[in-house]
């Protein structure tokens, strides 16, 4: 990201491509897609399309993001661009045939898209020095929480076989933001835990939610994912072995995570 922000796109592309070979499998497609974005920004059109093909091979399916991503604008006039989109659509259709609830996957992704748009609109205002209005976000969270209750009542916790990897991640994110319904978060933790062993849910997603609940209950967190308003981590259990625990489930080091937080939210508040 430092290379991206400095517009050193060749270095940015190489770094993301390397991550696509070293991170846990669930992250590799996103890393290769990011490499493609850097290549496109740097004008390496042929290599960008090669990276996009590689991203599809690694599991990239987020066509909605690809279509609106301004990093890829330089590719839009190329005949390979519609072909790339068609490939992703075909992969999505193929993937959904294997799911038990493909329509639920689409609903979850739509809910998360609205969740993220609202949150980043506020964050961007704050980074620009303004005061973001979180009330609109709270209203979305309440509606999402009601939707999650409905989904669980009808289908149980949606794992990967039901809604795909991205759908399962989307369901988790909605609950991660359901801070006004702590019993729901704890119920989902209990539902997710046995599904880790079967690969139905992500252990990283579980770790984030476990930390969220621990901090809310004034207990030390295990993975250091929760920060305060000054971008300092909330109390951590056995902090000396924190990076070992993070690495064991495919998370970046705490130093890398701190940098990610700073770039996402801007400089910490005084």
Q: What is the pLDDT of residues 4-30, one digit of tens each?
A: 889 999 999 999 999 899 877 778 999
Q: How many domains in the chain?
A: 2
Task: Show the domain range for 36.
Answer: 2-97
Two structure tokens written together for 26: 């669930």
Are 84 and 157 members of one domain? no
CA atoms within 13 A on the CB side of 46: 0
- Distance, in Å, from the CA atom of 32 to the CA atom of 39, rounded to the nearest integer, reads 11
Asked whether the beta carbons of 222 and 207 are under 8 A apart, the reply is: yes
Q: Which element (helix H / strand E) includes 190? A: helix 182-196
Q: In terms of domains, do 67 and 168 share one?
A: no
Q: Residue 258's pLDDT is what?
A: 85
Q: Is residue 49 part of a domain?
A: yes
Same domain? 75 vs 175:
no
- Asked if residue 24 lies in contact with residue 250, where contact means CB atoms within 8 angstroms, the answer is yes
Q: Give the model confidence (pLDDT) of 27-64 as tens digits.
A: 899 999 999 999 999 999 999 999 999 999 999 998 98
Q: Answer yes or no: do 14 and 78 share one domain.
A: yes
Q: Mapping DSSP to helix (H, G, I), strand (E, B) and coil, where does residue 221 land?
A: strand
Per cent of the chain over pLDDT 90 is 75
Per residue in 145-191, pLDDT (tens digit) is 999 999 999 999 999 999 999 999 999 999 999 999 999 999 999 99
Helix axes 160-176, 182-196, angle to 10 degrees: 140
Residue with the bigger pLDDT between 150 and 267: it is 150
Q: Say what the pLDDT of residue 120 is.
A: 82
Average pLDDT over residues 137-144: 94
> Mean pLDDT, the chain, as a whole number?
92
Token readout for 88 is: 């992703």
Percent helix, strand and coil across the chain, each to the nearest 5? 70, 0, 25
Does 42 lie in the same domain as 61?
A: yes
pLDDT tens-digit profile of 196-234?
A: 999 999 999 999 999 999 999 999 999 999 999 888 999
Q: Please tell me the predicted confidence (pLDDT) of residue 125.
A: 80
0.85 cut: is pTM over it? no
Structure tokens at 61: 């399916």
- Give the per-residue pLDDT at 108: 96
Domain edge (last residue) among 97, 132, 155: 97
Residue 236 reports pLDDT greater than 90:
yes
**Structure tokens given for 163:** 């809604």
Q: For residue 78, count CB atoms less than 10 angstroms from its CB and return exposed for 0-12, middle for 13-18, buried for 19 or more.
A: middle
Residues 32 and 67 in one domain: yes
Q: What is the pLDDT of residue 119?
A: 87
Q: Do 31 and 88 reside in the same domain of the chain? A: yes
Dist. CA 206–CA 183, nearest whole Å:
16
**What's the confidence (pLDDT) of residue 269?**
63
> Among 142, 122, 103, 105, which residue's Cα sits nearest to residue 265?
122
What is the SS3 assignment for 121? helix
Domain assignment of residue 22, yes or no: yes
What is the pLDDT confidence band of residue 129, given thresholds at 50, 70 and 90?
confident
Same domain? 55 vs 127: no
Cα 187 from Cα 209, distance rounded (Å): 11
Is the pLDDT at 264 greater than 80? The verdict is: no
Residue 265 predicted with pLDDT over 70: no
Which residue, 97, 130, 150, sits at the end of a domain?
97
Q: Which of 97, 130, 164 is the last residue of a domain?
A: 97
Residues 150 and 120 in one domain: yes
């Amino acid at each position: 990201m430092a290379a991206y922000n400095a517009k050193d796109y060749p270095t940015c592309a190489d770094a993301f491509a390397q991550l696509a070979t070293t991170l846990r499998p669930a992250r590799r497609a996103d890393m290769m897609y990011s490499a493609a974005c850097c290549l496109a920004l740097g004008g390496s059109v042929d290599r960008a399309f090669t990276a996009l093909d590689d991203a599809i091979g690694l599991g990239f399916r987020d066509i909605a993001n690809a279509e609106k991503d301004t990093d890829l604008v330089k590719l839009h006039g190329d005949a390979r661009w519609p072909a790339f989109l068609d490939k992703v659509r075909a992969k999505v259709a193929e993937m959904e045939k294997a799911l038990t609830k493909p329509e639920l996957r689409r609903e979850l992704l739509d809910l998360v898209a609205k969740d993220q748009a609202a949150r980043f609109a506020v964050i961007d205002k704050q980074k620009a020095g303004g005061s973001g209005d979180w009330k609109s976000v709270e209203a979305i969270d309440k509606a999402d929480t009601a939707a999650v209750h409905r989904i669980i009542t009808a289908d149980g916790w949606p794992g990967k076989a039901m809604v795909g990897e991205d759908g399962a991640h989307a369901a988790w994110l909605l609950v991660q933001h359901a801070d006004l319904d702590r019993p729901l978060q704890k119920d989902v933790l209990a539902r997710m835990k046995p599904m880790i062993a079967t690969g139905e849910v992500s252990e990283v997603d579980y770790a984030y939610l476990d930390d969220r609940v621990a901090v809310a209950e004034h207990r030390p967190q295990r993975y250091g994912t929760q920060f305060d308003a000054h971008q300092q981590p909330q109390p951590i259990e056995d902090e000396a072995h924190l990076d070992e625990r993070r690495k064991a489930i495919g998370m970046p080091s705490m130093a890398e995570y701190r940098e990610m937080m700073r770039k996402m939210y801007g400089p910490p508040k005084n």
